[in-house]
Structure 1
């Protein structure tokens, strides 16, 4: 795939897919399943758009029923993702919730389990960043609360509740980031949460091994999702991803395969405690 530049654009967080130019590729026309998740039931936070939508499509085409958690403002994206999952012949459970609120985060798991009839795979993908600032002095307590509660607190709350339902052979896949390894100054708080997620992943993998539950993470590089025009200055959007060795941003569809690999017992039955980079060539070690 050749290098690509993006037109300058900006949205209000959390951002919507329909307003992006160009539209991201979530694998709508390209992902072909191979029954790697047949009969599994998966909960994906932030499953309405971006990487979450691509994972939902891939999981459905691999044979899984899917529940997606999303903010109420993201309903149009959630409806489209649901349609794509159902077009694959799988069940989709819509779970609008604000994961920065503990009761809603835990309630989202209960709603998903009720709708799916159980739970086998948890994908902690929901995330927030804000890059429209110049120094640490610009990070407010409100910024910290939103970033840490979305990226880290919610992961704990959702995982704790999901563990009441996950059994031997289940899998948890967290969403880390290249920012955990090569942090950008404007993303200090976001990068901190992603480094923490790496540690959570390794520690949980050790704790849950005796229960037969695998825990891994995917660390994406710059991926073209609504989070970018919603949180980056327009001039940075134009050059988004150009600093990678491959010279371009990735598409959500290019990340989904990593989540399938780690979630599936067919492909990753002996993989736990790993962070798998999908970064366009940037190192994750």
Structure 2
């Protein structure tokens, strides 16, 4: 739970902390967590429910079986059978028909397949795959995780080649951020945001306002200082601020067109690059031009 939400190096961070999901302040204490949730029953794990997009906090968590967990995934889509019955997941629709002809259609896609696999039209962005002569495979671990989030094992999906010029623009943006990181002045050496290009990008997003703020109100200033000291090492990509007895943790937003929308996504890239130019002390637009020349 804490690793997923606070450790940027965790393989699951992008699906939890990267989306702004946090562990409530009360559960920084294991004793409080145990008091709220009780011992873990055999065969269960922690599940965020009823709001799968909510935080880890009392009232939004349960001990759930693997079956319950699978039916509470964000990637699930509701389906409607031909007779009008609605089901929360394809698995529930298939169970209702004994696993034979489910005749279900995606409530979002508006299709009407008559196969038990209930073909689902995906409404998300493209996935990068490689062809080895026999089968397609995710290009790297990131895309493997994306496939795990979007698709269901055993289902059938139709592939369509995707040529997106915006992908080149996105690569150029990350090249510009990396160039800015390499050119940081020496006096920034040793600061958390100077550790890597990714640290720098997260810091720039936060400083330009593209972030989520999570506040913890402590009983004393000393307690707030201890809480901040506890949080900072857990997630070096966030910014932790202490004012009086209040601790505020700023977490960069997930910077993608899907998460932000086209306009905010483009505006965030411009804001980050302008911030980096100011940080380095060069004319705005320099970092972007240099990255383009290097490409």
Shorter-chain TM band: under 0.3
Structure number with higher relative contact order (C-alpha < 8 Å, ≥ 6 residues apart) = 1
TM normalised by structure 2 equals: 0.26
Larger radius of gyration: 2
